[in-house]
Amino acid sequence: MIQQNFGSSLPKYLHGIYKRDFDELNESFQAVASEQNLSLSDFLCQKILSEIDDVRSSGQPSRDQRHRIDLCIRKLIQISDDEGPRLDNQRIVKLTESVPFMTQYAGRQMLRYLGLHISKNQKKLSYGDRKLLTPLLQEQAIQFQSQFWLHLESSLLLIEVSTNHLKEEIFDHLWSQDYSKRDKIFQRAYILERGKKSDKIWNLLIQNDILSRDIKDEYLQMRLVDLLAFRQLDLEDMLNRKVLFDSSLVTTIFYLMRPQTPNSSLSGTIHNFLRECRNRDLPCQLRILHLIKDLCQHHLETDVTQMGNKDFFQSLLDFSIDMYKTGLPQHQRLASWIITFVKHRMRKPKCTFLRDCYAINQYDAKQQLTEIPAAIGLGENEKLTLLAMSTYDSFDGYIVRQRESIRIRFGYRPKFALWRMIAEIRKPSANKRQGRPHWFARHWLGTIKLPSARLCEQVTTEAPGEPVQNQTTGDWCPWLPLVSDFFMSLKTKKELIIRTIEGTTRISRPNHLLTRLKAYCLMTWKISLLCDLRLHHRQETILDSSYIKFYRSIGFQIEFSESSFLPQPNNYILSAFKET
Amino acid sequence: MEILQSFGLYLTSQFENNMFQLVLFIIALSLLFFGTHFRKNRKLSQSRSSVLLSVGGWGSRGKSGTERLKAALFNGMSLSLVSKTSGCEPVMVCAGVDEPLEEIPIYRPFDKATIWEQSKIVEFADGIQVDVFLWECMGLEPEYVGIMQRDWMQDDLATITNTYPDHEDIQGPSGLDVAESIAKFIPQNSSVITSEEIMLPILKQRSTQLSSDLTEVSLMQRTEVTEDILEFFPYEEHPNNIALVLSLAEAMAVDKDYALREMIERVKPDIGVLKIYPLLHRHDRSLVFSNGFSANEKMGCLSNWTRLGLDSPRSQGTWVSCLVNNRDDRSTRSRVFAQMLAEDLTCHQFFVMGSNCLGFRDLYLKATKDYISKIDLTSELGRYQIIERLNKYLNIPHKNTKETSNIDHHTDSLRPMERWQNLKHSYQDSDSADAIRELYQDFLSSRIIVLPHESQDPLLILETVIKNAPPSTSIHLHGIQNIKGPGLRFLEFMEDWANFHRVSQLKPECRFQQFLSSHEKNDNICDNASPLPKANKGSEHSAIKRSTAIVSSTVAKILRPVKEISQTLKAASVYKKMQQGKMSYSHGSKEIRDIQSY
């Protein structure tokens, strides 16, 4: 979710372009470099320069030459963080001189590498070195005037190489240059980005008081937060100045809750930022709730013990409860998840049951039946609620057995349903997919359902009875049974249970056979009406209880009981189950 | 002569062949058929193996926009590329190293799409030795998509924008089935990036089965596409599409500032993108047109409606109209849009153009009846909600109050205003339910204006829209449903206007008038240059002309295959010249367009 899966030294799909040379680099170049008593970076630079010499003589680089140069530069950048020895001056000068013979992107990457390399090896740059490089870079900065990135990179490299006076002059020129609004934003954003890795740029930003200015561009402000967080500075200053955009607030919370952030900075700061969130508009609050949920989930999937201390969790809990108490269905939905997670975490910090649930690979269709070890020390209620949390964002789960271990089936099994067939016969249409059965409905795989809150349709389709997204809550109201759930209930004597984070819904079928038969006929006949009625709103935030009333009138017993984790009744849910 | 005679006898006789000869014939035909396919597949396989990096893209919505952004990104990385994409028409977006992107139309004989087109384009890409081949999956049938991905392309990387329920007749019936169909695009042992949220578990499951990595676009990546960045794009691009391509850039170790700026700088937008055209002034009103023709399903249309702020409370003197471009061969879509216009899109009026406009009108009137019959007016709250809705439609405060009395007589849709004025204070009374229902029905029914075929010229459309709005109002005209046909003509007209507006030095109020004068002048020049005789009004020989037209169209239909073959060969020769470097992309594009328009 947050981490990328492409952690290799070269993204693997670029192997397609660089396949031959990359393999060659990894295996034989290292050996060749050792034979010649060169470091790998020196060897790569030598290779680049020899390719450039060929390009100079031929005029235009061939495809292979371009790829080899690109690859060597990528490899240089990749090893630059690890490699100790620096390049010698002559090499730096030659590489700088070779930039005009490269493609635009390669040239830019080369200048970037040189800038970062020199920044890292600052103390080893002598007066003689600077005297050699400065005029060359000045000339190139002018030469590249019309090429945005090459001009920017050569100017930043000039800053790294230059003395105090000149570097300030260049910085002033860069920061206040008369670019279009668009290019100015990108230029400044990139300079802020470079402030992370270059102390010189960072010092210039401080000297020019950039970091304490009120930045009016949303994108730039986000980059500023990014930089301050990277440098582990106090972000609260921005809060005190009350200049944060919504996106910057989201970014700040992201940085404060990231796994890499030291725990010590969490407790007080996050509390203050969450307090600020309460003053923001609804879309911003929703984004922050989403972010908090995602980050909690990420921590859960990696290592929940590293997440934060007690004060940190208390801050999250207080915020979530406040959001829950707004009474807005979307807020309540997300806040329910966070409250359940945090309360469980605070009560049982060492319990790994929830993490075990998340660790199950629910996406392997072959592994439909899964066993989870018994949850020692957890009550029945808590256990089922945590299981409901684990299926929240994946497939439905059905509890088949609960003894020493819990057996769950994931996914769904479509089975022939007479009611679907009758619905199809009543509403034939040439617009329906041909050669595909329309007579199948989802069948329960156990008697306790742990529905996914995520999987649903965004608009109604020609298949009746499917979960459809409710715009008010953002999910499909999994706590409200589907029409197919009632049909399922008719087939079994047992009470069917739907377990969600919000609570438990229980369905029992009518007692007498004739009543059941009558119910089946009525449900089949009124299928379209019932599907429409399921998410019908009386008012914007109140669901119509006609749906449940209909089923009660034909003999079903339906009850909803709220989760004990939640601080107060959820009126939106209760309105659907209202008796009168 | 004897040989000819004997051959003639052979041809016309039923008994000249024996069983052995028949078997030989069947074998020869089978060899020809399978041999051709074997040869094509082999050639495709060879071309594909020469293409170094193949990146595919699919999804219900936003795939063309995403492909164009991807092309801009790779162009910014100084890589040569060919991108097969669509939009209004199928095109290849091509570029050499550090060269700007060029669009080359894809010539389709008989205007028919076939998956074999993919093989031709891959061969073309191989011929020009590109670094990267990007392709948008234009198929709908999951089986064909499976063939293209797993048998032919085997992408190194793929993107899936989203899995909104669309084309349910081919991929459905339910939303889950649509997601499963789209999941068939995931390649084996590869990497996939997606911005889909709701049906993500299905994509994850499929990628696990195929040993591929799936990466979803995170909330933070979406957050990074801020409002001020969106403004820099030359059209209204969806932030999710940008976030998806940014995720791709990040995975390729390209920093986001670089990626964003290059996308903005280099992207070659399709004419059908969501775009707002410059304001024009005419007949004491101003009009701004926004193009939403390409969003041809409900979610996309509603998303555009919201993004343009058309569902928000309106400022003083704002009048919202829709221009519906209907197609007679898209009846399901027409039904969906008719229902949307009745229930969701709160415009003051809408104008229907294209084909089968009367059919669309019937669908709309039926949709309004169904919708109104479902509304609950028994409660005071229900009645209040309808009155508020009517308030949104009918309450058009005007800058000049003296104009108000003119409006009732001016526009039919505003005549219910008097009735509404009376009813809005008496909604508490339960007896007013019927009157409110009737008012709402009348209002909804009067919103639709069908444009006859002869009035579907772009300028006439604008004139009709403007004259049907109250004076001194700011009109926002939003185009919806389909792009082909009069929609494309209208867009071309607006593009001309946008280009004129960009360079004009005149005051804004006078620019459109000047544009019209120059536009008419050009039309007159074209008419004068035309070799065809002008229509003679009131001709005595109209019957002869009609029959001549019938004969010539019949002959044209018979000769069409010959014409298509010759055009196909011409187009192939143009593509070959571009491959060999004997013709530039821009020149080749022009040649193909000339062949298409012939």
Residue among B131, B155, B223 with most chain A CBs within 10 A, to mutate: B223
Task: pLDDT tens for chain B, 598 residues: list them.
Answer: 777 777 777 777 777 777 888 899 899 999 999 999 999 999 999 999 888 889 999 999 888 999 999 999 999 999 999 999 987 778 999 999 999 999 998 998 887 888 888 999 999 999 998 989 999 998 888 888 988 999 999 998 899 999 988 777 777 778 888 899 999 999 998 899 999 999 999 999 999 889 999 999 999 899 999 999 999 998 888 999 999 999 999 888 899 999 999 999 999 888 777 888 999 998 888 999 999 988 877 878 888 888 888 877 667 678 899 999 998 878 888 988 999 998 888 888 899 999 889 899 999 999 988 888 877 777 777 777 777 777 766 654 433 344 443 444 444 444 556 676 677 677 677 777 888 888 888 888 888 999 988 778 888 999 999 988 888 888 999 999 988 778 888 888 898 888 888 888 778 778 888 888 887 655 544 334 333 333 444 444 567 777 887 888 788 788 888 888 889 999 999 999 998 889 888 889 888 888 887 6
Residue A211 pLDDT grade (very low, low, confident, very high; cuts 50, 70, 90): confident
Bigger pLDDT: A467 vs B430 = A467
Bigger pLDDT: A412 vs A406 = A406
Closest partner CB to A433 (pick from B164, B170, B261): B170
Residue among B52, B99, B134, B220 with most chain A CBs within 10 A, to mutate: B220
pLDDT at position B501 is 87
CB–CB contact A436 B224 (8 Å): no
B111: left (phi over 0), alpha (psi -120 to 50) or beta: left
Beta bridge partners of B352: B324, B450
How far does the CA of residue B574 sit from the closest CA of chain A (Å)?
24
How far does the CA of residue B263 sit from the closest CA of chain A (Å)?
12
How far does the CA of residue A440 sit from the closest CA of chain B (Å)?
11
What is the number of CB-based contacts under 8 A between chain A and chain B? 187
How far does the CA of residue B346 sit from the closest CA of chain A (Å)?
18
Strands A440-443 and A413-416: antiparallel
User: Which residues from chain A sit within 8 angstroms of residue B200, using beta carbons?
Assistant: 393, 454
CB–CB contact A193 B332 (8 Å): no
Q: How far apart are CA B338 and CA B317, in angstroms?
A: 26
Beta strands in B421-509 (DSSP E): 448-450, 474-480
User: Which residues from chain B sit within 8 angstroms of residue A474, using beta carbons?
Assistant: none
Average pLDDT in the A405-431 region?
80
CB–CB contact A363 B208 (8 Å): yes
CB–CB contact B258 A108 (8 Å): yes
User: How distant, in Å, are the alpha carbons of A14, B106, B158 from that of B93?
Assistant: 21, 10, 18
CB B489 within 8 A of CB B462: no
Whether A247 has its CB under 8 Å from any CB of chain B: the answer is yes
pLDDT at position B534 is 38
Average pLDDT in the A135-161 region?
89
How far does the CA of residue A159 sit from the closest CA of chain B (Å)?
20
User: Which residues from chain B sit within 8 angstroms of residue A16, using beta carbons?
Assistant: 52-54, 156
User: Which residues from chain B sit within 8 angstroms of residue A361, using beta carbons?
Assistant: 208
CB–CB contact A251 B218 (8 Å): no
CB B229 within 8 A of CB B269: no
SS3 letters across A291-357: HHHHHHHHHHHHCHHHCCCHHHHHHHHHHHHHHHHCCCHHHHHHHHHHHHHHHHHHHCCCCCHHHHH
Residue among B54, B171, B258 with most chain A CBs within 10 A, to mutate: B258
Q: How far apart are CA A279 and CA A281, in angstroms?
A: 7
Q: What is the pLDDT of residues A503-561, one digit of tens each?
A: 999 999 999 999 999 999 999 988 888 988 898 877 677 888 889 999 999 999 999 99
CB–CB contact A457 B165 (8 Å): yes
CB–CB contact B198 A66 (8 Å): no
Q: How far apart are CA A568 and CA B495, in angstroms?
A: 57
The answer, yes or no, to whether residue A319 has pLDDT greater than 60, is yes
Residue of B nearest to A184 (CA): B261
Q: How far apart are CA B425 and CA B288, in angstroms?
A: 35
CB–CB contact A13 B157 (8 Å): yes
Coil, strand or helix: which one is A429?
A: coil
Q: How far apart are CA A430 and CA B331, in angstroms?
A: 11
Residue of B nearest to A183 (CA): B261
User: Which residues from chain B sit within 8 angstroms of residue A197, using beta carbons?
Assistant: none
User: Which residues from chain B sit within 8 angstroms of residue A430, using beta carbons?
Assistant: 169
Whether A421 has its CB under 8 Å from any CB of chain B: the answer is no
Q: How far apart are CA B289 and CA B274, in angstroms?
A: 10
pLDDT at position B169 is 73
User: Which residues from chain B sit within 8 angstroms of residue A391, using beta carbons?
Assistant: none
Bigger pLDDT: A543 vs A304 = A543
User: Which residues from chain B sit within 8 angstroms of residue A62, using beta carbons?
Assistant: none
CB–CB contact B205 A458 (8 Å): no
Place of tokens 């008010």: A472
SS3 letters across B130-152: CCEEEEECCCCCHHHHHHHHHHH
pLDDT at position B538 is 45
The answer, yes or no, to whether residue A477 has pLDDT greater than 90, is yes
Residue A361 pLDDT grade (very low, low, confident, very high; cuts 50, 70, 90): low
CB–CB contact B176 A222 (8 Å): no
The answer, yes or no, to whether residue A24 has pLDDT greater than 80, is no
Q: What is the pLDDT of residues A367-402, one digit of tens each?
A: 567 777 776 778 888 888 998 998 898 888 898 876
Residue A364 pLDDT grade (very low, low, confident, very high; cuts 50, 70, 90): low
Bigger pLDDT: A316 vs A164 = A316
Amino acid in the structure at residue A71: L
Closest partner CB to B53 (pick from A13, A183, A294): A13
Strands A397-402 and A405-410: antiparallel
As a whole number, the mean pLDDT across chain A is 83
Place of tokens 């009746």: A464
Strands B349-354 and B448-450: parallel
Residue of A nearest to B252 (CA): A11
Place of tokens 């929830």: A354
pLDDT at position A305 is 65
Q: What is the pLDDT of residues A221-268, one digit of tens each?
A: 999 999 998 888 878 887 777 778 889 899 988 888 887 665 555 567
CB–CB contact A222 B223 (8 Å): yes
Residue A110 pLDDT grade (very low, low, confident, very high; cuts 50, 70, 90): very high
Task: Please list, in sequence order, all residues whose beta carbon lies within 8 angstroms of the beta carbon of residue B518, skipping any fewer than 6 positions away.
Answer: B500
Amino acid in the structure at residue B227: E
Phi, psi of A155 (to 5 degrees): -70, -40
User: Which residues from chain A sit within 8 angstroms of residue B226, using beta carbons?
Assistant: 218-219, 222, 245, 247
Closest partner CB to B53 (pick from A16, A108, A364): A16
CB A39 within 8 A of CB A88: no
Residue of A nearest to B140 (CA): A433
Q: Which of residues 86-105 of A touch B (CB under 8 A)?
A: 103-105
CB–CB contact A455 B298 (8 Å): no
User: Which residues from chain A sit within 8 angstroms of residue B199, using beta carbons?
Assistant: 455
CB–CB contact A456 B198 (8 Å): yes
pLDDT at position A3 is 28
Q: How far apart are CA B82 and CA B99, in angstroms?
A: 12
Among B312, B568, B133, B255, which residue's Cα sits nearest to residue A13? B133
Q: How far apart are CA B259 and CA A475, in angstroms?
A: 34
Whether A436 has its CB under 8 Å from any CB of chain B: the answer is yes
Q: Which of residues 476-535 of A touch B (CB under 8 A)?
A: none
Among A419, A411, A414, which residue's Cα sits nearest to residue A487? A419
Q: Which of residues 294-353 of A touch B (CB under 8 A)?
A: 294
DSSP H helical ranges for B210-309: 219-223, 227-230, 239-251, 256-266, 298-307
- If one counts every other C-beta atom within 10 angstroms of the C-beta of residue B293, the result is 27
pLDDT at position B407 is 42
Q: What is the CA angle A217-A220-A225, rounded to 5?
A: 125
CB A99 within 8 A of CB A140: yes
For a pLDDT cut of 90, what percent of chain A falls above it?
Answer: 33
CB B78 within 8 A of CB B100: no
CB–CB contact B174 A461 (8 Å): yes
HSE-CB at B10 with a 13 A cutoff on CA atoms is 8
CA–centroid distance for B283 within its chain: 31
Among B187, B188, B214, B218, which residue's Cα sits nearest to residue B202? B214
Closest partner CB to A254 (pick from B208, B220, B250): B220
User: Which residues from chain B sit within 8 angstroms of residue A457, using beta carbons?
Assistant: 165, 174-176
pTM of the model: 0.84
Coil, strand or helix: which one is A84?
A: coil
Task: Please list, in sequence order, all residues whose beta carbon lies within 8 angstroms of the beta carbon of residue B434, skipping any fewer than 6 positions away.
Answer: none
